[in-house]
Amino acid sequence: MSRRLPNVDETIPTWINESVDPERMKTMAALLDDSNPIHFDLITLRNLGMGDRQVNQGPSNLGYILNMLEEWAGSGSVRKVKVRFNSNVHAGDRLLARGTVTGVREEGGSQLIDCDVNLQIEGGDVALDGTATVVWKEH
């Protein structure tokens, strides 16, 4: 059975990270070869006056938006994402990756869905916002 095309203004199901995990920041630091200690060293954070919660890596925050898109449109569906990094995300933050359909079009034989996307810190700022395009797979 084929899936129906989304409609403009349709809301993408929200993807939630209940609590940003500081332990996972250590893994991302290793994967990125990122030596910035604000992602894993509380002593450095305090010495810099940056509080006592580790700062999540920007690519991880981007990853949550990509998760939202792929859970909705399917693995391998992402064709374009463009975002601005507005605010830091910290360990323990509850995050909501959200999106809204802004366009449905055909290009090269594929149905493309354009969206506005953002990553909201619950009770706080919009950490990332931007646009995305996915290819819609009907099956």
For 123, the 3-state DSSP assignment is coil
Q: Least separation, in Å, of the C-beta of 74 and another protein?
A: 9
Q: Least separation, in Å, of the C-beta of 9 and another protein?
A: 24
Q: Which is nearer to another protein, 6 or 15 (CB)?
A: 15
Structure token digits, residue 58: 């920007």
Q: Least separation, in Å, of the C-beta of 115 and another protein?
A: 14
Alpha-carbon distance of 69 to 87, in angstroms, equals 21
Q: Least separation, in Å, of the C-beta of 47 and another protein?
A: 12
Strand partners, 134: 78, 113
The closest of 116, 111, 134, 135 to 126, measured between CA atoms, is 116
What pairing do the DSSP bridges indicate for beta strands 110-121 and 126-135?
A: antiparallel
Q: Which is nearer to another protein, 9 or 91 (CB)?
A: 91
The closest of 94, 91, 93, 95 to 41, measured between CA atoms, is 91
Q: Which is nearer to another protein, 56 or 101 (CB)?
A: 56
Q: Which is nearer to another protein, 85 or 104 (CB)?
A: 85
Judged by the rule CB under 8 A, the positions of this chain that interact with another protein are 17, 24, 27-28, 31-36, 58-60, 62-64, 66-67, 70, 75-76, 78-85, 130
Q: Least separation, in Å, of the C-beta of 44 and another protein?
A: 11
Decide: 135 and 77 in contact? Cβ < 8 Å. yes
Q: Which is nearer to another protein, 101 or 127 (CB)?
A: 127
